[in-house]
């Protein structure tokens, strides 16, 4: 067990790394962030910033020497870097778990093994695979690069063979997965924390709404029937157990218009849809990340209040903060990014209310004021 006073390392210095470092600091841990970007969001909070590439062996060596345990804030760290660190210090989640979660085919295979149901899909390595893939998926379908996609990037809706060909060309013929485009009623995510002893704390599902492929808001608890919410939680826990996963895991599901629960993807880290946990649950997802990498039991994931989390993208800048801060039950979180760009995640707010619909209405009213 690593106790306060220990030093925790994180690969990646974005907002997730920043909020991890804040949780670590609150609890009396020191933190070190490895991130190539100067003035990154986490650097302002970490005790130390190693400014270097994620593949820089000297930097990785230094991180391993400084830290008692290491985690990551994103799944696209090179597997070799995590493997290198793993030989020196405890790394959670493991290099293997991160490698699975960053690969759209592998994550679907593991999810299937754990009893979850992804949309019908097929691997596309060359144009020769188109015909048999379409036999599995039909049209419309979505072509996704197997790695490096996020916020709707690296994927394209395709309605016929011509569009499929063009999309594959656009992705420079890298390995892709083709999936059936399902008719969605809702999207939800289940967040959990699991430690090495297999103890799990699982949050209630969040209901996620996207705009232009980027998460706009999460509503908690999700407005889905209880049986489906329970099923999603059990499936997410089952997946974590199958992977013998140690860390914070987010599992995204679709609920189709015919009420089927479909596995979409997983993230081996705290998740944007879990930011409400900073204010609305007994333990935040970032405290969970600290706890489980230190070998502590996960904290209580109980929801203290219905909440709506709204992302603040650079599109909204400049912002009249009085519109946010004059609201007594709004909790503002800004990531300290100097430059606001369209689509860039700059911060979020959580709006808490005793009644979920009230939280939703008030969150929307604030967002309307910010958008004016």
Give residues in contact with Mg ion (CB under 5 A): 252
Return the number of the residue (4 or 343) whose C-beta is nearest Mg ion: 343
Tell me the C-alpha distance between 72 and 76, whole Å.
9
- Pick the closest to residue 192 from 112, 87, 288 (CA basis): 288
Element (H, E) at 166: helix 161-170
Whether residue 324 contacts residue 330, with contact meaning beta carbons closer than 8 Å, is answered with yes
In degrees and rounded to multiples of 5, residue 13 shows phi and psi of: -120, 30
- Cβ of residue 256: shortest distance to ligand ADP, in angstroms? 9
**Residue 142 contact partner, candidates Mg ion, ligand ADP, none, CB within 5 to 8 A by sort of partner:** ligand ADP
Could you tell me the two tokens for 164?
Answer: 């499929």
The residues, ordered by sequence, that sit 6+ positions from 203 with a Cβ below 8 Å of its Cβ are 190, 191, 192, 220, 274, 277, 281, 285, 301, 303
Return the number of the residue (153 or 161) whose C-beta is nearest Mg ion: 153
Return the number of the residue (150 or 321) whose C-beta is nearest ligand ADP: 150
Tell me the C-alpha distance between 21 and 35, whole Å.
13
Could you tell me the two tokens for 208?
Answer: 């996620």
Return the number of the residue (75 or 287) whose C-beta is nearest ligand ADP: 75
**Residue 287 contact partner, candidates ligand ADP, Mg ion, none, CB within 5 to 8 A by sort of partner:** none
Residue 198 Cα to chain centre, angstroms: 21
Residue count of the chain, please give it.
Answer: 372
Write the binding mask 191 to 210 for ligand ADP: x where contact by CB under 6 A, - elsewhere.
-------------------x
- Cβ of residue 59: shortest distance to Mg ion, in angstroms? 30
**Residue 210 contact partner, candidates ligand ADP, Mg ion, none, CB within 5 to 8 A by sort of partner:** ligand ADP
Return the number of the residue (252 or 279) whose C-beta is nearest ligand ADP: 252
Tell me the C-alpha distance between 368 and 317, whole Å.
14
Cα-based distances in Å from 78 to 33, 126, 245, 273, 289: 16, 24, 19, 24, 20
Cα-based distances in Å from 170 to 50, 156, 160: 36, 10, 15
Could you tell me the two tokens for 249?
Answer: 């895991």
**Residue 198 contact partner, candidates Mg ion, ligand ADP, none, CB within 5 to 8 A by sort of partner:** none
**Residue 294 contact partner, candidates ligand ADP, Mg ion, none, CB within 5 to 8 A by sort of partner:** none
Residue number of the CB closest to ligand ADP reads 182
- Cβ of residue 141: shortest distance to ligand ADP, in angstroms? 8
Site for ligand ADP in 17-76 (CB under 6 A): none
Site for ligand ADP in 99-158 (CB under 6 A): 119, 142, 149-152
Return the number of the residue (84 or 121) whose C-beta is nearest Mg ion: 121
Contact flag: residue 211 with ligand ADP (CB under 6 A): no
Candidate segments 36-44, 51-59, 178-186, 271-279, binder of ligand ADP by CB under 6 A: 178-186
Tell me the C-alpha distance between 110 and 107, whole Å.
5
Among 3, 127, 148, 184, the residue binding ligand ADP under the rule CB under 6 A is 184
**Residue 148 contact partner, candidates ligand ADP, Mg ion, none, CB within 5 to 8 A by sort of partner:** none
Write the binding mask 302 to 321 for ligand ADP: x where contact by CB under 6 A, - elsewhere.
--------------------
Among 82, 182, 308, 351, the residue binding ligand ADP under the rule CB under 6 A is 182
Tell me the C-alpha distance between 105 and 360, whole Å.
35
Whether residue 251 contacts residue 208, with contact meaning beta carbons closer than 8 Å, is answered with no
Site for ligand ADP in 212-271 (CB under 6 A): 213, 252, 264-265
- Tell me which residues touch ligand ADP (CB under 6 A): 119, 142, 149-152, 179-182, 184, 187, 210, 213, 252, 264-265
């Amino acid at each position: 067990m690593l106790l306060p006073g220990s030093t925790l390392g994180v690969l990646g210095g974005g907002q997730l790394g920043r909020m991890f470092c804040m949780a670590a600091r609150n609890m009396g841990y020191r933190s070190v962030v490895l991130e190539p970007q100067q003035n990154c969001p986490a650097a302002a909070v970490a005790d130390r910033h190693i400014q270097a590439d994620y593949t820089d062996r000297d930097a990785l060596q230094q991180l391993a020497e400084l830290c008692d345990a290491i985690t990551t804030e994103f799944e696209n760290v090179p597997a070799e870097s995590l493997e290198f660190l793993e030989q020196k210090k405890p790394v959670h989640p493991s290099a293997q778990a991160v490698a699975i979660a960053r690969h759209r085919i592998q994550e679907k295979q593991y999810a299937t093994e754990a009893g979850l149901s992804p949309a019908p899909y097929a691997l596309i390595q060359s144009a020769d695979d188109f015909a048999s893939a379409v036999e599995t998926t039909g049209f419309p379908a979505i072509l996704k690069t197997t790695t490096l996609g996020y916020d709707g990037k690296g994927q394209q809706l395709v309605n016929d063979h011509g569009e499929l060909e063009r999309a594959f060309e656009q992705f420079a013929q890298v390995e892709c997965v083709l999936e059936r485009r399902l008719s969605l009623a809702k999207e939800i995510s289940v967040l959990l924390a699991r430690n090495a002893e297999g103890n799990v704390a699982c949050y209630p599902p969040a209901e996620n709404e996207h705009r232009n492929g980027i998460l706009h808001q999460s509503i908690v608890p999700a407005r889905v029937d209880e049986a489906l919410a329970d099923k999603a939680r059990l499936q997410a826990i089952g997946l974590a157990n199958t992977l013998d996963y140690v860390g914070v895991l987010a599992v995204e599901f679709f609920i189709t218009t015919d009420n089927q629960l479909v596995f979409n993807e997983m993230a081996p880290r705290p998740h944007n849809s879990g930011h409400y946990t900073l204010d609305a649950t007994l333990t935040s997802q970032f405290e969970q990340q600290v706890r489980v990498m230190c070998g502590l039991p996960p904290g209580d994931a109980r929801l203290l209040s219905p909440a709506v989390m709204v992302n603040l993208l650079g599109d909204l800048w400049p912002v009249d903060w009085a519109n946010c801060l004059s609201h007594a039950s709004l909790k503002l979180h800004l990531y300290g990014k100097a430059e606001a760009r369209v689509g860039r995640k700059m911060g979020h707010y959580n709006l808490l209310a005793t009644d979920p619909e009230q939280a939703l209405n008030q969150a929307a009213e604030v967002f309307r004021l910010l958008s004016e």
